[in-house]
Structure 1
Amino acid sequence: MKNFLQRSILIALLFVSYFANAQTSGTATGKVLNGKDKSPLDYASIAIKKLSDSSTVGGTNTSATGTFTINGLTQGKYRLYVVYLGLKTITKDFELTAATPGINFGNLTMEDTGVTLNAVEIKGEIPPVVVKKDTLEISASTLKVKENAVVEDLLKKVPGVDVAKDGTITAQGETIKKVRVDGKDFMGSDPLLATRNLPADMVDKIQIIDDMSDQSKFSGVDDGNREKIINITTKNGVKNKGIVGNSTVGYGTDDRYDVNLNANYFNKQQQISFIGQFNNVNKQNFGGGITGGGGGGRGQFGGGSASSGGITTTNAAGINFGDTYDDGTQVNGSYFFNKTSLFNTNNSFTQNLLANNTITNLSDLNSTSDRLNHRLNFMIDTKLDSNTSIRVQPSISYTENTGYSIYNYNRTVGANNTIGNQNLQTNSETPSISNSMLIRHRFQRRGRTLSLNISTSINDSDADNFNYNLQTVKVGSVSTSTLLNQLNDNNTHSLSNTARLVFTEPLSKTLSLETNYQNGYSFDNKERFVYTFNNATQSYDIKDNTYSNEYENTTWTNSIGLSLQKTEKKYNWNVGLAGQYTTRANVNVTTGEELNRDFINLTPTAQFRYNFSNSKRLTIRYNGRTNQPTIDQIQPIPDNTQTQIVPIGNPNLKPSFQNSLNIFYNNFDFATYRTFFIGGFFNQYFNAIANDQRVNTTTGIIQNGYANVDGNFSASVFSNVGQPIIKGNKLTLQINVNANYDKSTNLSDGLENVTKSLTLLNGYKLVSNLDKLDLIAGISGSWTHGDYSLASTVNSYTLAPNIDVSYLFPGNIRLQSDVTYNQTTGRGADYNTSYTLVNAYMSRQFFKNKGTFKLSVNDLFNENTGISRTVANNQISDVNFNVLKRYYMFSFTYSLGNIGGRSMQMPGQGGGQRMRMGGM
């Protein structure tokens, strides 16, 4: 009986296995050809969907021979999609039965659309990902995001894309510095203005593009200069004519408020956008945080964006306009205004590890800084005739900074102690104007071009710093007090102009020669006049010649170069060499001293790019370049607004030379959504500009000069793996592994102090694309090891698990919670932390899902803590700073979502039957 039962079970299992295999053994095969020349199409996108529910059951790409095979199909009715950017999509319906479990489509010929790639439209559903040459295109309808989401939320769901807390976007290992909308620049060159303001429900596709240089696009010869950008293509309903946007009004406890306004009007090629932001909850949906001016000390008026500590109040508004006319003329313009106020308190523990001394500095800072900024950008690109075009891009900016800080410090060096109190008030104005003009001419012979690019910029700064510093130095039992009460009048004027002439000549169908000539001119004038307060006149009228100086630096650069480019179907390379002659004239206007110096450098370049397929690519880039010292690094006058590290320039500095090598490999598997990339950077420096520090062993004040040193380099390796756990990109695991190593040399009392810093970072993250559940969860950690040749070794660790999860319940009610745990160890006393930050909200949609009411809480357990560590050269600094603590807020969001009388749907909620495929 037992044997019979075993045999019965075995037979049943075999039967079930056979039946299941029979149900899933269906196969679809075929070969895709280019209708123009009947050549095989490599990496055409193939997808098969069920006719019953439009679900995708299989996907792949064609091989180098144009063939494809999709296995594992059950019996039923299907539709085949064949997609290739720039060619007409092929669709074929078919049925698999027990009698015909497989189908061979034979040769499938794709015809040209007959229109430009930017205007290609495809009716019907298409595969979620399309890859061609330098563009990876993801359909937004496959990315599931919450209601009222913005473009940044979509990008967080894109395989191979990482969005940091401050909004920085990294795609396939490279930082994104430009975001376009339908191929047009948006609000100048600030990516955050697009990603954090534009609503997600207007997006049709997200394109990640290895964008060629303007010169390459014009000449048709790939010079190897690439920039990874993101282009957002809008839905046809938006593009043809429509208004979209989200506006939010919120008010909470502790008088917290948050108002965001966003409206976008589209009419075919015309774009008009308005954005506004007003809050006191540390939100900045734009780049360029509070930056200081006028030499305001330790940077208490600089780097104070909301993400680096403090409480920021923000008022900002901007408008963007873009249009393309019938003759091809493109026009873009934008104006952006922002006013921010930052209140910052912090305490810090800083160690300066020097040759024979270790200086410790305990300090407390209380500061308020206000910043007012206006930005105006404009661009026009038009043709003068059929072969000649001109593009002009002027930009104007005006910034005002005001700040006031109280800085208390206690500095120890050996047995000596210095206690001080500084009150510093800063007022500065910084107007700037720049313009770029590009003239291009194409000759009759294909590939023969001539272009001239002229870039000009003028930057001025006028700053007044009022410095009141009372300091007591104790040496043994003797104490000495000094009072400094001065006005620092700083004025800077800078002018630079660069003209570059490029001529390209084809040597064959695949080989091209480029000759170029570049002329550069820069002029800097810096006036720093310091006046001591006169008790008799009650004004600042006693000039302090020790800290007063006017200095000028003029640099002329001429270079001429050649480069050779080879472009084949699978690969391209280029090598180039330029000779550069630089003349630098330094004039100390105050003393009348002049110093003229000449420098000759060779600047080589090389690039190799191999395409294993449209989804697998290896890129190797090398370049050598010179870096001129700034006027602050060469002006020989100390800045006594600094309480501890007093900088002073060195007119004898040579320009540094940098060798840079970048290697990058990426692989994206369309069929499985599996991503992998790995890359490395190596930078080597000759005549690197380093700190040359001299210590006053009585006061602990460090005079920081500059000197040229050799032996500095930096290296980094990074990698990312994206592995779907649930098919169709429903749930993906992303793994990041990074390592950075730096070796830098500085001088301390005449001795070399070599700093070697190693940082290891590792992160794991789960990202969902599910209908009702929205999940991003992960854990990241880092280890930093710093080794100083003249001092000790330091180590620090961080650990930060995080989960951001929400669920949409019946009745359009959503509950969300964002939990982050932060732990830091290995730091100074009182600078190791362990805390949990919890943000949560509950929302409900009304008014046909156009309106959303939300009740939210920030830092539920009131544990938020601000802490940072900086390890640089021979200095370690641990800082605790004030952060935004717990508050509750009630808000209402209204969505402008009607396009042509229809209500727009969120990506992934059934929209997008008529889609647009764009290309650059």
Structure 2
Amino acid sequence: MKKIALIISCVLCAAVSFGQTQVKGKLVDKDSKEPMPAAAVALLKSSDSSVVQTAITDNNGNFTMSGMGNGSFRIFVTFLGYKPIYRAITISSDKPQQDLGTVNISRKGLALNEVEIVQEKPPVVVKQDTLEFNAGSFKTRENAMVEDLVKKLPGVQVDKDGTVTAQGQQVTRVLVDGKPFFGTDPKMATKNLPADIVDKVQIIDRKSDQAQFTGIDDGNIEKAINIVLKPEKRKGYFGRAQAGYGTDDHFMANVTANRFRENQQLSFLGGGNNVNNLGYTPQDVFNFTNGNGSGGRGGFGGSVRSGSVNAGGLSIGSGGSGITRNWNGGLNFNQDFNTKLKLNASYFYNDSKTNTAQTSSTQYFLKDENGKDSSYFYDAKNKGLNENANHRVDMRLEYAPDSMNSVIFTPTFTYNKAHNENDNTYQSFDTSHTRLLNGGAVNNINEGTSPNISGNLLFRHRFAKQGRTFSANFSGGYNTNDRTALNLSNNQYILKSGDYAYDTIQQRNIQHSENNNEGVRLNYTEPIFKNRYLELAYNYNTSHNVSSRNTFDYNPASGNYDLHNDSLSNAFDNTTTTQMGSLNIRTQKLKYGYTIGISVQENDQQSRNVTKDSTVHLRTVNFFPVALFNYNFAKGKRFQFTYRGSTTQPTLSQLQPVPDNSNPQYIQLGNPDLKPTFTHTIQARYNSFNQVTMSGFFSNVNATFNQNQIVSKTVNDGQGRQISQPVNVNGNYNLSGFMTNIIPVKGLEQSHLNLSTNASYGQNHSFAGNVVANGATIPNEAALSTTKTMNLKENVRFDWSYKELFDFFTSGSVNWNNTASTLQNATNYFDYEFTFDFNVNLPLGFIIGSDVDYTVTTGRSAGYNQHITMLNGFVSKSVFKKKQGLIKLQGFDLLRQNVSISRTVNENYIQDVNNMVLQRYFMISFTYFLNKFGQQQQSQGPRGPGGRGMGFPGGGGFRRGGGMM
């Protein structure tokens, strides 16, 4: 920590010295000599035209910039209707301050002898729904990846696992030149493409395919990033190959290869490691948590029950639990056959094997029928092995025979195979944590396969009359799910009399399900007044599911599992049909737009118990309004408001009344009388970004209110054994919001201060109680409880990149949680986190870097309050003439303090969990970079002395009022 303090001191000293330099002047009209207010002025590096400082002239035409350090620069000035001007200046220790005096600017068409007209790329361009960053203005080190570039963009954060958040919202899609790259996983592009091929990074509020075609906003927006490649990088070969080996037999190897042509992109990637570095987002992973007891009741992993409030969940250290070995590989192909036909296809395979170990301590808060405290403690240790193999094929085919018609076909195929083992030992104690209530050991072994095929076909037609459109979206899918589970347990119960009771389970269950679904959405828009449209929509979806579960007890006589257990076996045939009609009025103005409408939805659900020859029929009708509003105050300032209603149907496992006893301490029952959940969702967003000052403000407020929310009704049988059944409750809601301020630090090149505030408040009703009638089969005696949770988090982050010498960021956060329940006293705890990352480029091709994470957790149970310092570091050396090789030595968790700790606060329990994580290792690796592109295209604009013609369309530069073009 002393070394870190020394580095910070040096940085602050450098900042003070930079603050002594200054450039100022006064801008006037050359002919009238009138001052020119609100003109944009930029100070650019002479070497590469990157932006150092920006300023806006005041009402008297004056501008001042300071803190740029010594060196050769160019002043670039622009004003709408006037010719941009350029002037070279030099700042040195002998002359740290430059007064340009009066700077004359001429209207277009007049010659300037003392200036030179150039075309420049602004660092940021603000559009209505897009924030576009010029990659050249954000320098990255040699051989950096797109992820390293994205980290430097104002308002963008990248977590340690690679998750990208822009303007407070998670990025769900990354495109390359507007085309998908390995489906929809953002990490596939950010972690596998080099930064030096990028021309622009566009952060987009991406509208749906339907809205993009009609031009009418339907409110379906996702946060996306589009990577725009440099023109000269769109034709050639590039990639890298990397291999490394470390202590404790840790290894890593990966290769990426790309061949890009004018109308074609072909990419291959593959690799493997056992250091928890996936490089992608796990998708379609086979999940055993439903229907076999892996989840629930602290359930071999501590999953939170439906309807609960999670007031914890902080995971410190590396952020991941367990140690994962992974192999993966895939192909991505994009082809524009012509202006009418475009194809994207990708295949990806991953095979992962994760070893886990977990200890947990859970305190349950219960009362008996007399209101007496019956709380107890549940302590568990779990070891697990999870193996998943997944094949995924995605395709997107776009065909537009003319400007009036368009067809998009998007099929997907996945195949999953999994093997899961869990060994759990547990003990339950009374409220004093001294008297043993029960104990035992549970072993679950599961295997399963699940192929799935689905697709969408979207047809869109635009009529001759502007605003009149018709679209039809057809969807369908089919999947099967086969599972085999072995459930073994030995359980001991200590009765109130002091006697012992034993329960042994030896069972195998075989589950099979098939599901097919079809749907269609028809949409018609008609202009009714100027800038107003009538939208009519109809949705029809049907889903048919058949499932069976056969349970067999162990037969000592035969030594096989051949005794059919009728009470734990069942077969179901379920059909769900949903119809929805909508009528909306959409208004689209230059500065604002809004939608008001009404929808009615009918849900018809029929569940037939084939085993008992009984049928449950549920039909509901819901009416809900729709309201969307957006207003553009000015360029870069936008407000959006959205209200939507939606329904969620009960799952098959929630409806089935057959008990699931795979976790003998947490018996799960279904409820055939469940109603669908109806959710009201309200969202308001305000975004503001000034592309000249590089400052911004982003905020978001969300509210959800639930009717008939499905929660767990849980009771305890007096021996520490729980029985749970889903039921409907009302009155649950959640409020949340965030604010982010981006403040450029004056005097420090490429530096930003980010201030973020997050807050949430939620209320949840649920049921918990104590059954004394010797273990009732249905938890009727559970009592209604209310849990209220508040969370506040404040984060401060500072980023700074100085030329190409070094870059670093530091951040600090405070997180406060408060939870109060009718079953327990209020709990409060604070968590603190400090982070410091830096990279320094040294002579002879050396780079050193380190990151430090210091975390303090408080307010938890004994053994879970921690002071953790995570320290990683590396040193690398570029080799070969063109720096095509890189040798790297890195150390992970140098202080051997990595842990993964989380807390979950529920309606009637508090759970602390400690997971096994990857700890200290060292690794040496070698990377080879391949870059072979066609001849670079010459820029179209004239060059300034010592600079580069940037070829910015339309003249580039800054526009009047401080906005850049």
Relative to the length of structure 2, the TM-score reads 0.84
Listed one character per residue, the Cα deviations across residues 813-858 of structure 1 (whole Å, up to 9, x for unaligned) are 1111111112111111111111211110111111121111111111
Q: Quick one: structure 1 residues 671 and 649, their matched pair in 2 at CA, closer, same or farther if it must change by over 3 Å?
A: same
| Contact preservation (8 Å) 1:824, 1:832 | yes
Q: Select which of 239, 242, 254 maps to 1:260.
A: 254
Deviation at 1:107, TM superposition (A): 6.2
Deviation at 1:388, TM superposition (A): 1.8
| Contact preservation (8 Å) 1:281, 1:312 | yes
C-alpha distance in structure 1 between counterparts of 2:837 and 2:23, whole Å? 39
The answer to whether the aligner puts 1:876 opposite 2:903 as a matched pair is: no
Q: Select which of 231, 239, 246 maps to 1:236.
A: 231
Name the residue aligned to 1:422.
Answer: 442
Relative to the length of structure 1, the TM-score reads 0.88
Deviation at 1:302, TM superposition (A): 11
Map 1:812-891 to 2 at 5 A. Answer: 812-847=845-880, 848-891=882-925
Deviation at 1:417, TM superposition (A): 1.1
Q: Quick one: structure 1 residues 654 and 295, their matched pair in 2 at CA, closer, same or farther if it must change by over 3 Å?
A: closer
Name the residue aligned to 2:800.
Answer: 768
Give percent identity, aligned residues only: 34
Listed one character per residue, the Cα deviations across residues 71-130 of structure 1 (whole Å, up to 9, x for unaligned) are 23899975546899xxxx975556999997132444699xxxxxxxxxxxx995311111
C-alpha distance in structure 2 between counterparts of 1:405 and 1:129, whole Å? 52
Map 1:507-656 to 2 at 5 A. Answer: 507-656=528-677
Map 1:690-705 to 2 at 5 A. Answer: 690-698=711-719, 700-705=720-725
Map 1:351-366 to 2 at 5 A. Answer: 351-356=363-368, 357-366=374-383
Q: Quick one: structure 1 residues 680 and 466, their matched pair in 2 at CA, closer, same or farther if it must change by over 3 Å?
A: same
Q: Select which of 369, 377, 382 maps to 2:386.
A: 369
Q: Select which of 295, 298, 319 maps to 2:294.
A: 298
C-alpha distance in structure 2 between counterparts of 1:638 and 1:123, whole Å? 76
Q: Quick one: structure 1 residues 539 and 129, their matched pair in 2 at CA, closer, same or farther if it must change by over 3 Å?
A: same
The answer to whether the aligner puts 1:329 opposite 2:341 as a matched pair is: yes
C-alpha distance in structure 1 between counterparts of 2:616 and 2:22, whole Å? 87
Deviation at 1:669, TM superposition (A): 1.3
Map 1:127-526 to 2 at 5 A. Answer: 127-239=122-234, 241-288=235-282, 291-293=286-288, 295-299=291-295, 307-356=319-368, 357-413=374-430, 417-476=437-496, 477-526=498-547
Listed one character per residue, the Cα deviations across residues 152-171 of structure 1 (whole Å, up to 9, x for unaligned) are 22221111112222222221
C-alpha distance in structure 2 between counterparts of 1:461 and 1:362, whole Å? 33
Deviation at 1:504, TM superposition (A): 0.4
C-alpha distance in structure 2 between counterparts of 1:264 and 1:676, whole Å? 38
| Greater strand fraction, Structure 1 or Structure 2 | 1
C-alpha distance in structure 2 between counterparts of 1:192 and 1:123, whole Å? 37
C-alpha distance in structure 1 between counterparts of 2:341 and 2:660, whole Å? 50
Listed one character per residue, the Cα deviations across residues 482-512 of structure 1 (whole Å, up to 9, x for unaligned) are 2111001111222222210000001233111
Deviation at 1:667, TM superposition (A): 1.0
Q: Quick one: structure 1 residues 126 and 379, their matched pair in 2 at CA, closer, same or farther if it must change by over 3 Å?
A: same
C-alpha distance in structure 1 between counterparts of 2:159 and 2:949, whole Å? 29
Listed one character per residue, the Cα deviations across residues 558-611 of structure 1 (whole Å, up to 9, x for unaligned) are 111111111111111111111112211111111011122221111221111111
**Counterpart amino acid of 1:857?**
G
| Contact preservation (8 Å) 1:503, 1:514 | yes
| Gapped regions of structure 1 (runs ≥ 5) | 1-19, 32-42, 110-121, 904-908
Name the residue aligned to 2:689.
Answer: 668
**Counterpart amino acid of 1:895?**
F
SS in 2 for 1:537: coil
Name the residue aligned to 1:892.
Answer: 926
Listed one character per residue, the Cα deviations across residues 342-393 of structure 1 (whole Å, up to 9, x for unaligned) are 0111111122323443232111111111110000011101024442221110
Deviation at 1:538, TM superposition (A): 1.1
Deviation at 1:311, TM superposition (A): 0.5
Deviation at 1:548, TM superposition (A): 1.1
Name the residue aligned to 2:27.
Answer: 27
Q: Select which of 732, 746, 751 maps to 2:752.
A: 732
The answer to whether the aligner puts 1:753 opposite 2:749 as a matched pair is: no
Q: Quick one: structure 1 residues 783 and 916, their matched pair in 2 at CA, closer, same or farther if it must change by over 3 Å?
A: farther
SS in 1 for 2:141: coil
**Counterpart amino acid of 2:798?**
L
**Counterpart amino acid of 1:102?**
V
| Contact preservation (8 Å) 2:26, 2:61 | no
The answer to whether the aligner puts 1:809 opposite 2:834 as a matched pair is: no
| Contact preservation (8 Å) 1:319, 1:334 | yes
**Counterpart amino acid of 1:199?**
P
Structure 1 stretch 363-372 or stretch 863-872: which is displaced more?
863-872
Structure 1 stretch 415-424 or stretch 439-448: which is displaced more?
415-424
C-alpha distance in structure 2 between counterparts of 1:21 and 1:484, whole Å? 79
Listed one character per residue, the Cα deviations across residues 688-733 of structure 1 (whole Å, up to 9, x for unaligned) are 11111122112x2211111111110001121111111145752211
| Contact preservation (8 Å) 1:756, 1:787 | yes
Structure 1 stretch 215-224 or stretch 448-457: which is displaced more?
215-224
SS in 2 for 1:445: coil
C-alpha distance in structure 1 between counterparts of 2:376 and 2:99, whole Å? 83
C-alpha distance in structure 2 between counterparts of 1:589 and 1:99, whole Å? 88
SS in 2 for 1:811: helix
Name the residue aligned to 1:14.
Answer: none
C-alpha distance in structure 1 between counterparts of 2:422 and 2:784, whole Å? 35
| Contact preservation (8 Å) 1:202, 1:244 | no
Name the residue aligned to 2:824.
Answer: 791
C-alpha distance in structure 2 between counterparts of 1:364 and 1:22, whole Å? 64
SS in 2 for 1:637: coil
Structure 1 stretch 856-865 or stretch 335-344: which is displaced more?
856-865
Structure 1 stretch 533-542 or stretch 413-422: which is displaced more?
413-422
**Counterpart amino acid of 1:880?**
N
C-alpha distance in structure 1 between counterparts of 2:863 and 2:279, whole Å? 33
Q: Quick one: structure 1 residues 354 and 759, their matched pair in 2 at CA, closer, same or farther if it must change by over 3 Å?
A: same
| Gapped regions of structure 2 (runs ≥ 5) | 1-19, 32-37, 67-71, 90-97, 111-116, 304-312, 369-373, 770-781, 938-945, 957-965
The answer to whether the aligner puts 1:103 opposite 2:89 as a matched pair is: no
Structure 1 stretch 858-867 or stretch 122-131: which is displaced more?
122-131
Greater relative contact order structure (CA < 8 Å, 6+ sep): 2
Name the residue aligned to 1:906.
Answer: none
C-alpha distance in structure 2 between counterparts of 1:884 and 1:863, whole Å? 10
C-alpha distance in structure 2 between counterparts of 1:261 and 1:536, whole Å? 55
| Contact preservation (8 Å) 2:83, 2:106 | no
| Contact preservation (8 Å) 1:733, 1:765 | yes
Listed one character per residue, the Cα deviations across residues 603-655 of structure 1 (whole Å, up to 9, x for unaligned) are 22111111111211111111111111111111111111123222211111111
Q: Quick one: structure 1 residues 108 and 215, their matched pair in 2 at CA, closer, same or farther if it must change by over 3 Å?
A: farther
Name the residue aligned to 2:16.
Answer: none
Q: Quick one: structure 1 residues 60 and 459, their matched pair in 2 at CA, closer, same or farther if it must change by over 3 Å?
A: farther
C-alpha distance in structure 1 between counterparts of 2:22 and 2:238, whole Å? 50
SS in 1 for 2:689: strand
**Counterpart amino acid of 1:420?**
G
Q: Quick one: structure 1 residues 348 and 261, their matched pair in 2 at CA, closer, same or farther if it must change by over 3 Å?
A: same
C-alpha distance in structure 1 between counterparts of 2:47 and 2:926, whole Å? 39
C-alpha distance in structure 1 between counterparts of 2:471 and 2:912, whole Å? 51
